[in-house]
Amino acid sequence: MRTIYKGELATKAGRRNAWLDSFFVDHAFFRILWTNFAAVDPGRLYRSNHPTPAKLAAFTKHVGLKSLINLRGQTRNGSDALSRDMAARLGLDFYDMALDSRDAPQRDRILRLAEIYRTAPAPALIHCKSGADRAGLAAGIYVLVQGGTAAQAQRQLSLRFLHIKQAKTGVLDRFFAAYAKVEGKKPFLDWVREDYDAQALKASHRSGKLAGFVNDVLLRRE
């Protein structure tokens, strides 16, 4: 991942460097102006793009957040450092749970995320970079873990959150569609453990060139 962050926040120069990296390299200037914060399960789980420190503080005050689940993993950039720092200041439990936006979800990561949902203090906030793809996948997984339907999970991946299913990120839509075929016959996590085939799912998806250009070049999604 591209970054100019030097790895420390203890000095004014270090914190300024983190903000410069977050603002210009990680595109946080978009997230200062716009957020796609939304409730997945009111009082239990919320989703958004990568919150700036001020946004995270505002969300915490608004809904009483107790946990922050980082779907980007340890990026070691300015945005990552600043959000970890603010989460600590706010007393939030912090979880790294890296997901992919352009590959079939991995079985072990799905199961680990389900365990985080089971044990993390609520309310929790899940975030990726833009809040469109990985946040949609994680939100949909939550819906299914809580006993919701594949159709309800699928709605977490929508254009309302700027998810483009015609691009490579559409492999996430196929994940929920695959479970829909056996829905009602086997619980979601049992299907993940026993039947889910990530390689077959990945091979089944074909993305459009125009959608890929918009998603990967114009929007510069991770």
Q: Provide the domain limits for residue 210.
A: 32-218
- Report the CATH number that the domain containing residue 68 is assigned in CATH: 3.90.190.10
Distance CA 92, CA 103 (A): 30
pLDDT at 33: 86
User: Is 8 a member of any domain?
Assistant: no
Helix (H) or strand (E) holding 179: helix 171-180
Strand pairing of 45-48 and 38-41? antiparallel
Distance CA 104, CA 179 (A): 13
Distance CA 110, CA 103 (A): 13
Tell me how many domains the chain contains: 1
Which candidate, 13, 73, 204, places its Cα nearest to that of 21? 13
User: Is 14 a member of any domain?
Assistant: no
Torsion of CA 21, 26, 28, 34, to 10 degrees: 180
Distance CA 166, CA 131 (A): 17
Distance CA 91, CA 148 (A): 31
User: Is 23 a member of any domain?
Assistant: no
User: Is 11 a member of any domain?
Assistant: no
User: Is 123 a member of any domain?
Assistant: yes
pLDDT at 167: 83
User: Is 128 a member of any domain?
Assistant: yes
Which letter, b or e, does each residue of 39-61 get, where b requires 16 or more Cβ atoms within 10 Å of its Cβ? ebbeeebbbbbbbbbebbbebbe
pLDDT at 166: 75
User: Is 27 a member of any domain?
Assistant: no
User: Is 12 a member of any domain?
Assistant: no
pLDDT in tens, 187-198: 999 999 999 999
pLDDT at 60: 98
Q: Which residues of the chain are under the pLDDT cut of 50?
A: 210-215, 217-218
Which candidate, 208, 197, 103, 220, places its Cα nearest to that of 165? 208
Percent helix, strand, coil in the chain, to 5, is: 50, 10, 40
